[in-house]
Amino acid sequence: MRAVLLGGTGAMGGATAMLLSRAGWDVEVTGRDPSRMPRELSECGVRFHQLERSDTRGVERLVGNGADLLVDLVAYTAADVRALLPAMASVESLVLVSSRAVYVDDSGRHINGDDPPQFAGPVREDGPTLPPATDDTDPFIREGYAACKVAAELAALDSGLPVTVIRPSKVHGRWARNARTTSVVEWMLRGEPTIELADGDTIDHLTAAANAAALVETVAGRPGRRILNAADPDTPTAEEIVGAIAAELSWEGTIERVASGSDRGQHPWQTPMTLDSAAARELGYEPAGSGISLVAEEVRWVLPQIAIR
């Protein structure tokens, strides 16, 4: 079984490459910078190709006469997807990584908007989304990112190919490029006796890279056209996440609640939103572990990065 991962050296791509390789797959990943290829992946037999996703011919040559699985972690626009349809057509199972950012609440508000959304409950895959962006929309600005992801999803699904679109929430794990736990870890490492926390009861659903990888492995053997939320099986509060970081670091300080809306106590888990993952479970997906327990994996990854600074 051969798998090709486009943009496969970050948290989600790395976890997927590692899982598949250990399961006996022949795994190849692409990336811009060879120095970002995790040593652990190379040691597992994962092969790295320095290749831009925009290099259509290069990707086509890499895929060659076909692969059993192609995971695209770096498609941001419909044009990105359309450019690789010829290469995708020779693959047995396709996975396109999108984002929870595509969802809107009943009033049309979304997480990248000026007014925060208010979801009535866990968000299902058939929930409303932003309208798709036009081809001239910049996907790398706040206003354009989610709408461009919607357009990319539609381009993939409308192709008629066996594409599974997965929508992760806040991804955490080793090899994370912008690990959200970093600021909390730094605070605790300084030995601060207290950490202020606003909106500590907020549930801002997480997606462990290891759990996203388990979902990719599940759908790899069940090709089809579908959309699946990818989120951890548990829904810890922001205070519980900070508590898990404290436990990993043996920090014995105090978490102090501060008033919501103040400038104090800001943290990365302040968007009330949970994803319904029932559809993934119905396919046979089994999480690698709880999100709260897997937060420690990112903390252990962050520690040496902080020491290098």
Are the C-beta atoms of residues 12 and 73 closer than 8 Å to each other?
yes
Q: Read off the pLDDT of each residue in 146-174 and give the average, rounded to a whole number.
A: 98
Q: What pLDDT is recorded for position 309?
A: 62
| 165-to-229, 302, 307 alpha-carbon distances in Å | 8, 29, 37
Q: How far apart are CA 26 and CA 17, in angstroms?
A: 9
Domain spans of the chain, in order of start: 2-175+206-232+274-289
Q: Read off the pLDDT of each residue in 83-103 and give the average, rounded to a whole number.
A: 97
pLDDT band at residue 306 under the 50/70/90 scheme: confident
Fold for 2-175+206-232+274-289, please state it: Rossmann fold (3.40.50)
pLDDT in tens, 166-183: 999 999 999 998 999 999
Q: Read off the pLDDT of each residue in 248-259 and give the average, rounded to a whole number.
A: 95
Give the number of C-alpha atoms closer than 13 A to the C-alpha of residue 302, restricted to the C-beta side.
23
Which has the closest alpha carbon to 184: 129, 249, 230, 138?
249
Give the number of C-alpha atoms closer than 13 A to the C-alpha of residue 162, restricted to the C-beta side.
15
List, in order, residues 6 or more apart from 222 with CB less than 8 Å away. Answer: 93, 283, 284
Burial class of residue 178, CB neighbours in 10 A (0-12, 13-18, 19+)? exposed
Task: Please determine, for residue 138, whether its predicted confidence score (pLDDT) is greater than 80.
Answer: yes
Task: Please determine, for residue 103, whether its predicted confidence score (pLDDT) is greater than 70.
Answer: yes
Task: Please determine, for residue 21, whether its predicted confidence score (pLDDT) is greater than 90.
Answer: yes
Task: Please determine, for residue 307, whether its predicted confidence score (pLDDT) is greater than 80.
Answer: no
Q: Is 261 or 89 the better-scoring residue by pLDDT?
A: 89
What pTM did the predictor assign?
0.96
pLDDT band at residue 46 under the 50/70/90 scheme: very high
Q: What pLDDT is recorded for position 50?
A: 97
Q: How far apart are CA 50 and CA 284, in angstroms?
A: 34
Mean residue pLDDT across the chain: 96
